Structure 1
Amino acid sequence: MKDKITVSMFGQKRLSREGGIEIVVKELCTRMVQDGCQITCYNRSGHHVSGAEYDRKTEYKGICQKFVPTIERKGLAAVSSSFFAALCSAFGKYDVVHIHAEGPAFFSWLPKIFGKRVVVTIHGIDWKREKWKSGFGSKFIRQGEKNAVKYADEMIVLSKGVQDYFKDMYGRNTRFIPNGVNRPEVRKADLITDKFGLTKDSYILFLGRLVPEKGIRYLIEAFKNVKTNKKLVIAGGSSDTDSFTEELKELAKDDNRIIFTGFVQGQILDELYSNTYIYTLPSDLEGMPLSLLEAMSYGNCCLVSDIPECAEVVEDKALIFKKSDVKSLREKMQDACDHPEKVAKMKKQSADFICEKYNWDDVVEKTIELYRGR
C-alpha cells in the first residue's frame, strides 16, 4: 500500500458529540489527517442535535465530509445512510474503508467486492440494546455482525469482553484497540451556576444519551432515597427515545433535586465535568464508555456498575456497585455523600491513571498499522 493512505469512513452520524461513535471518528480522523492520511467521512443528511449551523459543514480540520441520502424515519436513517455510504466507498478511490458499528457493517460486502481493504470497529454488541431487541432493526444489526465477521479484513473491538464474544461465537480473531482520552482543562463553575444554579461539588452527574440501557431509571430511583442536599444532574439528549425521556422526567417529578439539562456541549459540558462531586455511569450495557474516560480525565471520583466494560476501565480507581441493583447503587451514593474524604482520595488519582492508560495517539498508530495490513 502506498505511503499516503486514502480512507473512507462511515457509521457515524456526523463529526459531533452526539454519541460515542461520533467522538471516536472525530478524534481518529483529525489525528490521521495530521499524519498524512486522506480521510473522507460519509455523514448522514438531516438535522444535527447541536443546531442547524452544524448540519452541512463540508470540511473540518482537513477532513473531507460528504453527506449521503438519508431516510429520516426511525430505524431507517442508519440503514439508508450506510447503504449509500458503502456504495460511495465501493466506487471511490480509497485504499481502506473503515466502518463503525454493527448495523453499518451489514454493507461491508459492498466495498469488499470492489477490492477495498475493509476494517470494522465494533463499538458494542448493538442488538442487545433495548431499542433493537426486536423487529427489523434487531435482524439487520445481527446480520451486520455476521457480515463483519465474514467480510472485514480486520475487526477492531474496544473491550476484552467483546473480543471473547467474537472468538467464542464465531471463532473470529479481532484486534483490541480501546478508545483514548484527552487531558482537558478544568474550568470553574460559571455558565452552569447562571443556568442551573450549580456550584463546585454541589451535584452528582450522569452524562450520556438518555436510553434505557444506561441505567438512568435505577439512578433516579436510588437517588430519591439518598439523604443529601446535593443535586442529581442528568445531562444528555434522547436518541429515538423521546417517550423514554418523558418517562424519566415523570419518575423524577416529585424530587426537585433532580435536574435535566438536555444535550450539552462546549463550555457547559466542560464545567459540568470539572465541578461535579461524583460522576456516575450506572449502565447495564456499554461498548467502551467514552464519557467515563472523559469524567476520569477531569479528575473525578466515578461510581459505575460492575459490568466488565466499566470495571476494565476503572480497575480499582473508582466506586463500583452491582449492576441493575437499586439498593447497591443507593448505598454507594449515600456512602460517597457521607464520606468526602474517600471521594477526595479517588479524585486525586483518576486523571493521571486514565490519561496514561488510554491515549489517542496510540490508538491512531495501531489503527493505521491495521490499514497497512501489519
Structure 2
Amino acid sequence: MLSLLVFFVHGYRWGERIRGDERRFLELAKRFKEAGLRLYVVEHAPSMQKAYYGKPMYYSLEIPSLYGYSNYTSLMRMLYTLSFVIRVCLKFRRRIDIIYAHNQDVSNLVPALIAKAIIRKPLIIVLHSLQDFNFSFKELLKMYRGSILDSLLILSQRVIGRLILKLADMVFTVSHTVRKEAEKSLNIKRIVVTGNGVDTNKFRPLKLEKKYHAVFCGRIDFAQKGIDMLLKAWKTIVSNLPSAKLLLIGGFQDKHNQGLLKKFVEVLKLRDNIIITGFLPDEKLVELLNESNIFILISRFEGFGLSVLEAMSCGLPCIVSDIPVFKELHDGIAIFSSQESTKDLVNEVFKILSDRTRYERLSFFSRIHALKFSWQVIADKEVTIIRTIAKRYSKLR
C-alpha cells in the first residue's frame, strides 16, 4: 500500500471559512483512501476531517493549536510548525512513498521541501493559482496598507515559493489557464492538469421558494473577489428595484475586509438589501443557493473558482467576470461581465430576471455543465500518476 505524507496546513479553523483548495483535498482524500492509498496528513488541530466527514478518512498528524496566543507571530508559528514537521519526518520516514502539498501556500511548500530533503522521496505540489507569485512590491505595499515590513515578508515568501515549485517532481494544476501561466512565468515542465470537481449529489437543484435576487459565495476578499464592484452594481440595481436582495455567503479574508464590507454597506445605504451569512455548513449552503435566483462572481483573478461550479450544480444561472479561466471552463454556459465595470453586471441581472424562458434555459444548462466535473475522475487520474511516480522512483533506487 502506497503511503503519502500530505501537507494540509491551513491558517484557520473549520467554521471560519473553507477555501476551494481545502474542499478539493477533503473530497480527494476520501477517494484516495478508497483507491488503497494511506494518507498521513499534517494539519492544524483540530483536524478538518472530523467536521467534514464525521469520521476518520486519514491519519491526522495534528500540529498543536496556537490559536488565541497573540504573542505567537507568523514567523514563530512557522518555526514551530517546521520543528513539528522535522519530528514527523524522522518518525515516519520509512513509511512514506510520496510527499504531497495540497496547495502553493508557503506554509505547505516549505515543510514539504524539508520533508523531501529528509525522507528523500518525490514531491508533488497542487498549484491552484499563480496570482500569489505575480505581485510586485509596489502592489504588495498597497495591499498591506503601507507596511514595508509586512510587504517585504510576503515578497520573500513568494520568491521562496517560486523556487520550491521548480524543485517539485510533479505539479498538478486545476486548470489549463494555470498550467499555461506556470509554464510561461516559472518555466515548469513537469506539470499535469487534473482539474476540480463538484459533488452533484450534494449540490443539486431543490424545489424551494426563491427569496433572494442574487447570491455571492466565497471568501469576502475585496482585492480578489471584486466585492467592491458587486456592491456598487447592487446599489444601481436597488435604485431600479428597491426590494432587490443580495446574499453574501462566506467567511472574511481578514478583519480589514470585514471592516471594509461594513463601510461599503453603510456608505451605499444597502443595509436593507444585503444579507451577510458568514461561513455556512454545506447543507445550509445548498439550501440558500437554491433560494437564490442568480449566482454572481466577478473576481479579478481565479485559478478555478469552485463556487461557480457548485452554484451551477444547483441549477443557478451564473454571471462571472470575463477572466481567462472562466472563459476556459464555462464558455457558452455562464454569462460574462467585465470585472472593472458595473454596467454589464447590472444589465445582465435585469435581463435574466425579466426573461423567464432564458432563465430556465440557463438553469438547465448550468446543471448539465456541472455534471461533467467529477471528483472521482480527478482522483483516479491523480492516483494513476502517483502510482507511476512511486514505481519509477523505486526502480531508480
Q: Deviations over 1:101-134 (max 9, x none)?
A: 2222134331222211210001112245776893
Q: Give 1:327 deviation, angstroms.
A: 2.2
Q: 1:7 aligns with which of 4, 8, 15?
A: 4
Count residues in correspondence: 354
Q: In structure 1, what is the Cα distance between the partners aligned to 2:369 and 2:151?
A: 40
The reply on whether 1:211 has 2:221 as its aligned counterpart is: yes
Q: Deviations over 1:339-366 (max 9, x none)?
A: 333222100111122212x111111111
Q: Is contact 2:35-2:383 (8 Å) kept?
A: no
Aligned pairs for 1:110-259 (under 5 A) are 110-113=114-117, 114-125=119-130, 126-128=132-134, 134-150=151-167, 152-173=168-189, 174-183=191-200, 184=202, 185-189=204-208, 199-200=209-210, 202-212=212-222, 213-226=224-237, 227-228=240-241, 229-239=243-253, 241-253=254-266, 254-255=269-270, 256-259=272-275
Q: CA RMSD for the aligned pairs? A: 2.8
Share of identical aligned residues, percent? 22
Q: Give 1:372 deviation, angstroms.
A: 1.7
| Other-structure match for 1:196 | none
Q: In structure 1, what is the Cα distance between the partners aligned to 2:134 and 2:346?
A: 26
Aligned pairs for 1:1-374 (under 5 A) are 4-13=1-10, 18-45=18-45, 60-69=55-64, 72=67, 75-76=74-75, 79-80=78-79, 83-84=82-83, 86-87=85-86, 90-91=89-90, 92=92, 93-102=95-104, 103=106, 104-113=108-117, 114-125=119-130, 126-128=132-134, 134-150=151-167, 152-173=168-189, 174-183=191-200, 184=202, 185-189=204-208, 199-200=209-210, 202-212=212-222, 213-226=224-237, 227-228=240-241, 229-239=243-253, 241-253=254-266, 254-255=269-270, 256-356=272-372, 358-373=373-388
Q: Is contact 1:89-1:97 (8 Å) kept?
A: no
Q: In structure 2, what is the Cα distance between the partners aligned to 1:66 and 1:187?
A: 38
Change (3 A) 1:277 1:7: same
Q: Which moved more, 1:170-179 or 1:205-214?
A: 170-179
Change (3 A) 1:81 1:268: farther
Gaps of 5+ in 1: 190-198
Change (3 A) 1:334 1:59: closer
Change (3 A) 1:200 1:297: same
Q: Which amino acid aligns with 2:151?
A: S
Q: Which moved more, 1:333-342 or 1:207-216?
A: 333-342
Q: Which amino acid aligns with 1:34?
A: E
Q: In structure 1, what is the Cα distance between the partners aligned to 2:374 and 2:65?
A: 34
Change (3 A) 1:319 1:82: farther
Q: Structure 2-normalised TM-score? A: 0.81
Q: Which amino acid aligns with 2:378?
A: V
Q: Is contact 2:251-2:278 (8 Å) kept?
A: yes
Q: In structure 2, what is the Cα distance between the partners aligned to 1:58 and 1:266?
A: 11
Q: In structure 2, what is the Cα distance between the partners aligned to 1:22 and 1:343?
A: 32
Q: Give 1:231 deviation, angstroms.
A: 0.6
Change (3 A) 1:80 1:339: farther
Q: Is contact 2:7-2:112 (8 Å) kept?
A: no
Aligned with 1:134: secondary structure?
A: helix
Q: Is contact 1:304-1:310 (8 Å) kept?
A: yes
Q: Is contact 2:177-2:328 (8 Å) kept?
A: no
Q: In structure 2, what is the Cα distance between the partners aligned to 1:312 and 1:123?
A: 15
Q: Which has the higher contact order (CA 8 A, sep 6+)?
A: 2
Aligned with 1:237: secondary structure?
A: coil
Q: Deviations over 1:240-285 (max 9, x none)?
A: x112122112212312111111111132111012221011111011
Q: Which amino acid aligns with 1:134?
A: S
Q: Give 1:78 deviation, angstroms.
A: 7.6
Aligned with 1:225: secondary structure?
A: helix
Q: Give 1:163 deviation, angstroms.
A: 0.9
Q: Structure 1-normalised TM-score? A: 0.85
Q: In structure 2, what is the Cα distance between the partners aligned to 1:145 and 1:61?
A: 34
Change (3 A) 1:339 1:7: same
